[in-house]
Structure 1
Amino acid sequence: MFVPLVLTDFLDRAVSLYGNKTAVIDGQQHVTYSELNQRVNQLSHGLNHLQVKKGDKVAYLTPNSLEMLEGFFGVFQVGGIMTPLDTNLEPMEYAYILNHSESKVLFVDESLYSLISPAIHEFETVETIIVIGSVSETDEYYGYNKWIEAFPKTVFNRIELEEEDIATLLYTRGTTGTPKGVLLTHRSNYLHAMSAMHHLKVTDRDCLLHMLPMYHVNGWGSPFYYTANGATQVMQKESDPEKMFENIHTYDINVIHMTPPVLGSVLTYYNNDLEQTKQDVRVVVAGSVPPQDYIVQVEDELGWEFIQVYGMTEMSPLVTISQVRSQHHYFSKEEKYVTKAKIGYPMIGSDVRVADKQGHTVPFDGVSVGEIVVRSNNAMDGYLKNPEATSEMIKNGWLHTGDMAVVDTDGYIQIVERKQLDYDVTSKTDATR
């Protein structure tokens, strides 16, 4: 039996199994999965009213929020393509991305409206702007709450989706290059979610703090696999350590995703204030190689579990995980820390090799250097309107990351040199790419 792998399945599962469970906490807003589903239906009815069709791009410029999470599923129901935008760009950069993507509708948080207002006259395809948080409307935009309340909460008659349909469009770029739009299908996102939820041990008992922006490198796919498992998702709009610890205590947070620079600020805050927390927390880290002392502090001082992952936007994004495998249980504590500082081994569904210039797998000796290449169901469909860049990235069925690495005698991969980062236009700071 063939059943298409489409991302709307994940919310359906959560509503069916966890309808009365708290799905999202965003400030004073607390909604259950059933209520989230109703809001998603309202959004889909609204997008349908705006004549958003299958394949149309719907852009979001917002920090972590209830509205952004419901945006993923509301856009999918009408067959649209979710296009999240970085919150740190210049006005004309937004104009370029919106025009290149041919986005039809733009949702923007009221606090960020000033970022796009100088460039509105340059928008070529955006027909409607809706401002989240605004209680008023103007000739330029609608206010989100008033707009969405005009539409019913009833079940939306979904557009039929195929697993090869594009689900998300995310922009990456080199430090001086033109942004490239990464096309990810429902299938690639779905299979990535299935792999990630296994390796990250996601369950319905989880309470995730969305500290990593959901626009950042596809949010590491977190809106999908935490929703599928009925986890509670708490929105944090800034990477503020004090607010993070407050949220941990208030909501019993037990899992957080972050980059090494953010983790560094968390540890600095903890060391300065000697904040005590007794919760068991899984800290999932990616973006750059973390200092080994970060791992020591996380596990020995905070008592949390440190998990490093690796990937890039073009892979949906995660393809390796660094946890000490059971056959290496005899490692000393120091050896375990050294191992966790590496990017680890392939996640389920991804074939990850370190290859020399001839394409041969390098010896597992911790010395021989090669490029990390990946073959995976998670891989992108390609770059939007850029076949040349696509063919440069994917050669002979393998995606070439440009990252140089070695593999130790136990099979753990260690990066020795990263390619000039394609800073995700979802983050100018630090990304898995």
Structure 2
Amino acid sequence: MPTKIIEPAEGAYPYPLLIKSLLLSGRRYAPQREIVHGSSRYNYQELNARICRLAHVLRAAGINEGDTVAVMDWDSHRYLEAYFAVPMIGAVLHHVNVRLSPDQVGYTMAHAQDSLVLVHDDFLPLIEALAPQLPSVHGYIQLSDAPVPGSTRLSPLGEYEALLAGADSTYDFPDFDENSVATTFYTTGTTGNPKGVYFSHRQLVLHTLSMTTTLAAYEGFALLRSEDVYMPMTPMFHVHAWGVPYAATMLGVKQVYPGRYDPDRLVRLFREEGVTFSHGVPTVLQMLLNCEEAAKTDLTGWKLLTGGAAPTESLVRQMAARGIEFFTGYGLSESCPLLSASFLEPGQHELPLEQQLEARMAAGIPVQLVDLHLIDAAGQRVPEDGASLGEIVVRAPWLTQGYYRDAQTGAQLWQGGWMHTGDVASITPGGMIQIRDRIKDVIKTGGEWVCSLRIENLISLHAAVAEVAVVGVPDARWGERPLALVVLAAGAELEPGALQQHLMQFVSQGQISKWAVPDDIRIVEAIPKTSVGKLDKKQIREQVRDA
């Protein structure tokens, strides 16, 4: 029997889910709250006016519906304005990952067919070198934090602030199909060129609503509410800064944008601007704890959400010792990104840290509207018993529907009608996800699986360890064996054999098997990181292979 569809009344408005609707509430609830970046400080009324001005500037630069506008900037008020103005005129915002290699940056901009580039002074040398490779780009707008913009050979259309000053502060943003592409950015994999993901207005609005509910509604996870002060520690080019700028703007909270990340500056802004909520990958949070400003600042009450990589138990304990409320989220570039978040039961805050660790470190519970389960290599569902391992596959309203101009790889991503994450996990009967490893990072030794994240976590518990990465390396007898790279804490001295002895206690306790203890542990000065601060295990394996 067919479903019933009732024709709407004549004149009824079919409200499309467009990014412009996220701007309606902030200026109503908190018109005087501020957006802060460097010396720039203005309220939500002015934010809306500046978004309108930017829309006029983009139109005057020849940007039409469907054109792609690239942004190359640090975390700033300008970037926040572009989050809205570019898609609200029907164009596509390309978040350029400025930390990729120059060749990769050039590839992503050419592949996205960018028409206009908003470029910060710091990236002028890069874009000048790439300009001959970007035939689709017909203009540049210069972004500057200095009183006098940097010199360039690009002949820009003008400097951002000067152009905005001459534009109208009102704009009648049009309605259009909510499935229109709003944003795109590129994610790097283990092989080949970066892959372009893309998200529609509808997807971003639904993700924002779910993000806001997740961060605000639960007493055990109250990270971003109306009186909070938000400062990202995730680049705004990286998965929409996890989507939080959209949620913060809809709520109308005070927002502080730090520019280029420097741990000491981040702590000063926390102290001086009254920041209460931030998010970042574990390596950035570790640098934050170790910086000079942190040593002389009371960090009590700072709510931090981590993601992008599993936090170590050592990091969680350090955070707790400094009075930081620490939680974990899970997602990926292809998922916009939020899929799940850690969750404390009522009253669990009052329990000793030992009884909170698992809940705070786990990838948590799937958030609203997310359908998620595990499958084995044959595609069959894996029991949710807390022990059985499988790949996470997922459906949600905000997942990229493929890779831009790469139908074959997109079909692999969506094999069987579920998005394949590439993450190996277990799920408890209560629904808590525990990420065990990336499929490509699981170490297969002698027919057994060793999860690199588990070994990293146990090594990190040694007081002399500041950072650790574990990878599998080829072995003629066992197929693969784990190898560990370790950065020591400042002033610490340690022989690799001492770390093997450290791990043997966990073998005795039955937490790991003897064959999971690395034969090769190397003390190094630094561990390679990706463009967004994660451990770069691909590069580590390549370096070990070349050596």
TM-score (norm. length: structure 1): 0.92
> Residues 348-370 of structure 1, C-alpha deviation per residue, up to 9 Å, x if partnerless?
11111122234333223332110
1:40 touches 1:71 (CA, 8 Å); kept in 2?
A: yes
> Residues 248-279 of structure 1, C-alpha deviation per residue, up to 9 Å, x if partnerless?
11111000111000111122237x96333265
User: Quick one: which amino acid aligns to residue 118 of structure 2?
Assistant: F
Relative contact order, higher structure (CA 8 A, sep 6+): 1
> Residues 97-153 of structure 1, C-alpha deviation per residue, up to 9 Å, x if partnerless?
121111111001011111211111111101111110127776531322222323211
Bigger drift between 379-388 and 412-421 goes to 412-421
1:339 has 2:354 as partner: no
Name the counterpart of 1:150.
166
> Residues 181-220 of structure 1, C-alpha deviation per residue, up to 9 Å, x if partnerless?
1011111111111111122222221211122111112210
Structure 2: distance between partners of 1:129 and 1:346: 41
TM-score (norm. length: structure 2): 0.73
Aligned residue for 1:210, secondary structure, equals coil
Structure 2: distance between partners of 1:419 and 1:59: 33
Aligned residue for 1:45, secondary structure, equals helix
Structure 2: distance between partners of 1:50 and 1:393: 37
Bigger drift between 89-98 and 257-266 goes to 89-98
Superposed, 1:217-366 pairs within 5 Å as 217-269=239-291, 274-277=295-298, 279-299=300-320, 301-326=321-346, 333-366=353-386
Structure 1: distance between partners of 2:150 and 2:58: 19
Bigger drift between 218-227 and 360-369 goes to 360-369
Q: Pick from 78, 81, 99 the counterpart of residue 88 of structure 1.
A: 99
Aligned residue for 1:213, secondary structure, equals coil
> Residues 150-175 of structure 1, C-alpha deviation per residue, up to 9 Å, x if partnerless?
3211x212132322111110111214
User: Quick one: which amino acid aligns to residue 32 of structure 1?
Assistant: N
Unpaired runs of at least 5, structure 1: none
Seen in structure 2, the aligned counterparts of structure 1 residues 380 and 21 have a Cα distance that, compared at 3 Å, is same
Name the counterpart of 2:194.
179
Name the counterpart of 2:117.
106
Structure number, greater radius of gyration: 2
Seen in structure 2, the aligned counterparts of structure 1 residues 80 and 409 have a Cα distance that, compared at 3 Å, is same
Name the counterpart of 1:206.
228
Question: What do you get for the CA RMSD once the two structures are aligned?
Answer: 2.4
Q: Pick from 50, 53, 66 the counterpart of residue 39 of structure 1.
A: 50
2:215 touches 2:225 (CA, 8 Å); kept in 1?
A: no
Structure 2: distance between partners of 1:99 and 1:297: 43
Name the counterpart of 1:387.
407
Name the counterpart of 2:395.
375
> How far is 1:243 from its partner?
1.3
Structure 1: distance between partners of 2:355 and 2:29: 41
Identity %: 28
Aligned residue for 1:112, secondary structure, equals helix
**Number of aligned residue pairs:** 425
1:404 has 2:424 as partner: yes
> How far is 1:371 from its partner?
0.3
Name the counterpart of 2:533.
429
> How far is 1:286 from its partner?
0.3
Name the counterpart of 1:58.
69
Seen in structure 2, the aligned counterparts of structure 1 residues 330 and 28 have a Cα distance that, compared at 3 Å, is closer
Structure 2: distance between partners of 1:279 and 1:328: 18
> How far is 1:328 from its partner?
6.8
User: Quick one: which amino acid aligns to residue 24 of structure 2?
Assistant: D
1:95 touches 1:122 (CA, 8 Å); kept in 2?
A: yes
Seen in structure 2, the aligned counterparts of structure 1 residues 182 and 196 have a Cα distance that, compared at 3 Å, is same
User: Quick one: which amino acid aligns to residue 108 of structure 1?
Assistant: V
Unpaired runs of at least 5, structure 2: 1-12, 217-223, 442-528, 537-547
Name the counterpart of 1:164.
179
Name the counterpart of 1:4.
16
